[in-house]
């Protein structure tokens, strides 16, 4: 026959189960209270993000050389891609020859102006001398007219020479502008990184032809690292740009990063079709951008990865106090040589 449990033992078992249940639910309640946010602080789930930057060909050119691979860390101004500029190089040489030719025409026109000015000066002297002699009746009117005609002819020739000089100088300016334009195309064929970032995609290989506007690389801009969270309207309404914030990531829940609010959407990102009740109004969500300070990102640039899940916390009220578990902050890395 099966053994019968005595009433006394049954009561003891029930009492033990009750104690275990109370302890379990008490622990859960304590744990929930530990992670409960104080008033004036809101939170939302998100992921670490960064803007993408493309290395783009401005002209239709062939890829000559790519100097980086996917995953490489790049700095501002670092050369990433060389495009083939053989056609532009030939055009540049021709444009420089045109500049030299135009400069020679300027020199020739300038000499013509100087020579013509000398002729005008001589014609003016002859005219003045002749006019005095005519006034003294020592020379005929015909000779005076000849000197006057010579002066007018020389003056007109000088004006023509000066016009030719101006034209020649303009031709030099046009030729030099053409050189500058072609040189700009050549410079643009060297694709450089505009930011500190990491190569996300390598979209072309040497020998491939890129169209104007074609992408060779895509970079993750590590100078602009942030997390976007969504808050209901009643919380977003009291949030200010520049407010203090904290970020945590799932793989390191015991650490937080100091951040700040850099953007609060002026309009709801998603809403129900009709807003009639309070429960429906609570569905109005506003996008909030929580920015990581650049000095913090720079210190851990090798470890920053986008797409990592986490939680963003923001202060809705300036007087709110961060809970202890959000005060264990990641400190900016020290620069080499500093104590």
Question: Looking at per-residue confidence, does 336 or 54 come out higher?
Answer: 54
Question: Looking at per-residue confidence, does 17 or 310 come out higher?
Answer: 310
335 has a pLDDT exceeding 60:
no
DSSP code for 329: B
Determine which of 64-68, 219-223, 266-270, 299-303 has the lowest per-residue pLDDT on average.
266-270
36 has a pLDDT exceeding 90:
no
H-helix segments, 189-270: 233-236
The H or E element spanning position 245 is: strand 244-249
Q: Which residues contact 83 (CB under 8 A, 6 or more apart)?
A: 57, 59, 61, 62, 63, 64, 189, 190, 191, 210
63 has a pLDDT exceeding 70:
yes
What the block records as the tokens of 300 is 């851990």
| Tens digits of residue pLDDT in 87-106 | 999 999 999 999 999 888 88
Q: What is the three-class DSSP state of 36?
A: coil
pLDDT tier at 40 (50, 70, 90 boundaries)? confident
- Taking the C-alpha atoms of residue 298 and residue 73, their distance in angstroms, rounded to an integer, is 12
Best-predicted range by mean pLDDT among 253-267, 281-295, 320-334? 253-267
Instruction: Return contacts of 82-91, CB within 8 angstroms, 24+ apart.
Output: 82/189, 82/190, 82/191, 83/57, 83/59, 83/189, 83/190, 83/191, 83/210, 84/189, 85/61, 85/185, 85/186, 85/189, 88/59, 88/182, 88/185, 88/186, 88/189, 89/186, 91/182
What is the per-residue pLDDT for 238?
A: 86
Q: What is the three-class DSSP state of 198?
A: strand
Chain mean pLDDT for the chain: 82
């Amino acid at each position: 026959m099966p053994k019968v449990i005595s009433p006394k033992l049954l009561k003891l078992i029930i009492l033990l189960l009750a104690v275990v249940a109370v302890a379990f639910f008490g622990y859960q309640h304590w744990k929930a209270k530990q992670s409960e946010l104080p008033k004036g602080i809101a939170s939302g789930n998100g992921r670490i993000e960064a803007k993408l930057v493309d290395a783009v060909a401005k002209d239709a050119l062939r890829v000559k050389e790519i100097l980086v691979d996917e995953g490489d860390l790049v700095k501002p101004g670092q050369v990433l891609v060389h495009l083939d500029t053989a056609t532009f190089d030939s055009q540049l040489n021709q444009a420089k020859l045109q500049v030299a030719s135009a400069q020679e025409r300027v020199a020739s026109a300038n000499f013509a102006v100087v020579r013509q000015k000398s002729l005008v000066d001589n014609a003016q002297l002859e005219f003045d001398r002749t006019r005095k002699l005519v006034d003294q009746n020592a020379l005929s009117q015909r000779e005076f007219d000849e000197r006057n005609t010579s002066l007018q002819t020389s003056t007109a020739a000088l004006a023509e020479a000066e016009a030719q000089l101006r034209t020649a100088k303009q031709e030099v300016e046009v030729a030099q502008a053409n050189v500058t334009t072609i040189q700009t195309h050549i410079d643009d064929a060297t694709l450089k990184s505009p930011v500190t970032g990491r190569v996300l995609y390598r979209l072309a290989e040497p020998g491939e032809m890129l169209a104007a506007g074609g992408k060779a690389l895509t970079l993750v801009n590590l100078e602009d690292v942030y997390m976007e969270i969504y808050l209901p309207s009643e919380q977003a309404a009291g949030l200010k740009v520049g407010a203090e914030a904290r970020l945590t990531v799932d793989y390191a829940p015991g650490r937080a990063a100091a951040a700040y609010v850099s953007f609060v959407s002026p309009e709801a990102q998603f809403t129900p079709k009709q807003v009639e009740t309070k429960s429906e109004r609570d569905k109005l969500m506003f996008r909030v951008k929580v920015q990581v300070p650049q000095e913090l990102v720079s210190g851990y640039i090798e470890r920053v990865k986008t797409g990592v899940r986490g939680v963003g916390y923001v202060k809705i009220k300036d007087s709110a106090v961060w809970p202890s578990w959000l005060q264990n902050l990641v400190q900016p890395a020290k620069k080499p040589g500093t104590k």
